[in-house]
A = this chain, B = another copy of it.
Amino acid sequence: MKRVIVKAPMSSANLGPGFDVLAVALDAFYDALELRVVGEGVRRVSVRVSGAYSSSIPQGSGNVVLGPILRALEASGEKLEVEAILDKGVPPGRGLGSSGASSAAAAFAINELLGGVFDDDELVYIAGEGERIASGEPHYDNVSASLLGGFVIVSPGDRVRVHRILGGDGFRFLLAIPEIETPEKKTGVARSVIPRQISLRDHVISSSNLAKLVYGIATNNPAVAGEGMVDHIVENARVSAGLIPLYREIGKKALELGAYGVCVSGAGPSILILANEDLHDKIGKEIQVIYSSRGIKAKIISTRPAEGAKNIA
């Protein structure tokens, strides 16, 4: 019986001013996915979910792993009966690319089973089918980061293309994850508050920050990258809509304590802070105090760029 086990990391998309464009895979949480070929001659996929967050996500045919697996089987012409066992380690609904990690694991795993017939760009597209199940339309930033690892630039459009940024490996992030109730279709809500029109001036400021962020990552310069993490287009809208509790307070405190930069992780409510590792303890404690003062429980995790999806058995 053919069998593969794959793990794929969480990711933070919409990095700073890189809305729908920049993402990073982080080693704080992983999904693991086992695929077993249990029959041939028919395309059928069954899904079982275990792990820390199994109760918070759709089981069976509503699970995102189904999309990429079926898409890959169709595209390759293979007729296989596949059993998928998902160990759900990435918390959903927190802006941590949870469905992207599952989708990436699924695309990577089925490609392994099929003998590696798809290239990276094709895998991103295949993984996007999982995101389509999760939120109605595919967003390729999360899946790209979880697939390829590290920092990625995504080209939008019908023909998705992804560039892995070689750089930023030494960056260290703090991830602040508030345990608040989030809306059922959080991503949709978070997108609905974004302005459809942007002033030329805001566009120019955003462009300048994005250029610094990419340059800072490519040259392993966290000070330049942190300067470029400032976003006031998408973040402002989401913060104003109350989707990212205590964002301004936490950002201000982190920068005061020496962090290089702060942004929302994905569509929030989690917050991503770029800071030297030796500051993580101190910043983490202060953030915890801010959340506590409003009665919000939060996990604060020190994390680093992760490798992409990989075969672990």
Q: Bound complex: CA of A281 vs CA of B207, how far in Å? A: 34
Q: Within A181-197, which residues are at the interface with B (CB < 8 Å)?
A: 194-197
Q: Does A156 contact B (CB under 8 A)?
A: yes
Q: Does A259 contact B (CB under 8 A)?
A: no
Q: Does A224 contact B (CB under 8 A)?
A: yes
Question: In the complex, are the beta carbons of B163 and A215 less than 8 A apart?
Answer: yes
Neighbouring B residues of A219 by C-beta, 8 Å: 166, 218
Chain A facing B: main interface SS: mixed
Question: In the complex, are the beta carbons of A157 and B18 less than 8 A apart?
Answer: no
Question: In the complex, are the beta carbons of A211 and B153 less than 8 A apart?
Answer: yes
Question: In the complex, are the beta carbons of B20 and A204 less than 8 A apart?
Answer: yes
Q: How far is the CB of A46 from chain B (nearest CB, A)?
A: 37
Return the chain B residue nearest A224 by Cβ. B163
Neighbouring B residues of A198 by C-beta, 8 Å: 197-200, 203
Q: Bound complex: CA of A209 vs CA of B18, how far in Å? A: 11
From B153, B157, B212, give the contact of A155 (CB < 8 A): B212
Q: Does A266 contact B (CB under 8 A)?
A: no
Question: In the complex, are the beta carbons of B233 and A203 less than 8 A apart?
Answer: yes
Residue in A20, A157, A203 whose Cβ sees the most chain B Cβ within 10 Å: A203
Return the chain B residue nearest A204 by Cβ. B20
Neighbouring B residues of A155 by C-beta, 8 Å: 208-209, 212, 227
- Please list 25 pairs of residues, one from A and one from B, whose beta carbons are closer than 8 Å in the complex, sorted by A's number: A17-B207, A18-B211, A19-B207, A20-B204, A20-B208, A21-B208, A153-B211, A153-B212, A153-B215, A155-B209, A155-B227, A163-B215, A165-B215, A194-B200, A197-B199, A197-B200, A198-B198, A198-B199, A203-B203, A203-B206, A206-B207, A210-B211, A211-B214, A214-B215, A218-B218
